[in-house]
Amino acid sequence: MELTGSRRAPLPGARDVGPWPESDLLEATIVLRRPPGPTPATELGAAGRPPVGSRRYLTREEFRTRHGALAADRERVAGFAQRAGFAVVGESVGGRAVRLRGPTRRWSEEFAVRLRRVAWNALEVRAREGPIHLPRELEGIVVAVLGLDNRPQARPHRIRHRTEAPTDVAYDPPAVAAAYSFPPGSDGSGEALAVLELGGGFSASDLRQFFARLSLPTPTVTVVPVDGASNSPTGSVDGPDGEVELDLEIAGSLAPGARLIAYFAPNTDEGFLDGVNAAIHDATNRPSILSISWGGPEPSWTDQARNALNAACEDAAALGVTVLVAAGDAGATDGSTNGALTVDFPASSPYVVACGGTRLVLTPARSEVVWNELAIHEGATGGGVSESFARPSFQSNVGVPAAPNGFVGRGVPDVAGDADPASGYHVVVDGQSIVLGGTSAVAPLWAALVARLNEALGSPLGYLTPRLYDPAETATFTDIVSGNNDGYTAGPGWDACTGWGSPNGMRLLAALQSAPNAPSP
């Protein structure tokens, strides 16, 4: 039986160098169906967002009982593994996932796949083409098999500033927080803020250097390895280390009271899903906020991987975890090879807050426009309309256009913040002080704001996205009405460049506190 949505396209520009060794031990994640009955989305109420303070999110224990993998399904996978010669090496009941290990030959025989060695961008990766077929024991219970193909799935959405101009500026993160009126008297205390990283790492000396310059205490970062990945700095300032340290330095300086947890996973579709599941189902660290600065164009994902990761974002919403995702750094095409308009995923999931980018100038007078530096090869904010996810009800009356293929899809982004490398952030990466921008900076900036809002409100905002479309909340934003992302143009109200615009934290907090049944200030 062919597994729906599992067809994999050839890796563009790759060169086949032969079969993957038959004796190599490979690990892959088997994603199981949801239990019958109500889905996690139904836990959020008919409107998607009960008033602030009245919502009862599920605990992780409750979630496992109500929406975790069925015991009978897990037993079937265990029975298949024993029969076929696989070892069960991991299991996430809440994430509905079982991780198996076995030799290449057995994966090829049981799942009817050809695993090849291919040379691509100076890497040698394992790739497959076409569909996966399920063994009879797994038919009807498995919705995805991820990890057999280990090509890089996502890219970090950060850009180093290189082209100097007289109008360029750069900021320490607290200066941007002040411009966005982050609520005084809060620092994220009591909150656990997670970041997902798909490569690279950070060094304690870099963090000490960065936070000492801001006269802030250096945070302790809890590292959680996923699928064998780890905090592994590359030593290359232009490699993935820049993403990791940008995330930690922005989040840590803007919410210095919050606990920081970094989940390191491989940059594959399997690693991405397992990393998100590890964060949202972490019963030890229990993050209330997850910042994701990685993604890829919607068409670059298989349907099975995209659907599995979107389901994990839905799980996060039911658990009360706010997920903030960078919207991309390559304008309205998201860097697609054919130049077609598309959006970045997982920013296009309706269960996340998609974060777009602006250019912020504070002196001599404040101005803020859509970030677009494509002409000098320094990126532009992602944004547009999904061709995979239907338009959610909270976007039904905000003027989201149809997708390029006519699909009535989810609009991206929801919000924005300073992202232009020419108005970027001073950071320390691999011992160097540099300036970075990109929507990678906006996700942790918004994550820090949510941490401070949670602290001030005394309860987690959780599934925040629909609330951002309530008139009381939309009125708190600074509307960005000038600029474009080479596909869509900014204008009054929501647009596919900067969403509702950049935040005013104090106004947003006041609106949330004034909501029916909101906790007292």
- Annotated catalytic residues are 243, 247, 440
Q: Phi/psi at 488 (nearest 5 deg)?
A: -135, 150
296 contacts 155 by C-beta, under 8 angstroms: yes
Residue given tokens 């020419």 in the structure block: 422
Task: Quickly list DSSP for 388-449.
Answer: EEEPPGGGTTTTPPPPTTS--EEEE-SEEEE--TTEEEEEEETTEEEEEESHHHHHHHHHHH
Residues 142 and 457: their CA atoms lie apart, in Å, by 40
Burial class of 517 by CB neighbour count within 10 A (0 to 12, 13 to 18, 19+): exposed
| Single-letter amino acid code for the residue at 242 | G
- Cβ contacts of residue 136 below 8 Å, gap of 6+? 1
Residue type, 500: W
Neighbours of 472 (CB within 10 A): 14
d(CA 455, CA 458): 5
Q: Determine the Cα–Cα distance for residues 42 and 36; give it in Å rounded to an integer.
A: 13
Enter the tokens of residue 262. Answer: 């970094």
303, 144 Cβ separation under 8 angstroms: no
Integer Cα distance of 349 and 305 in angstroms: 13
| Residue 296, CA atoms < 13 Å, CB-side half-sphere | 18
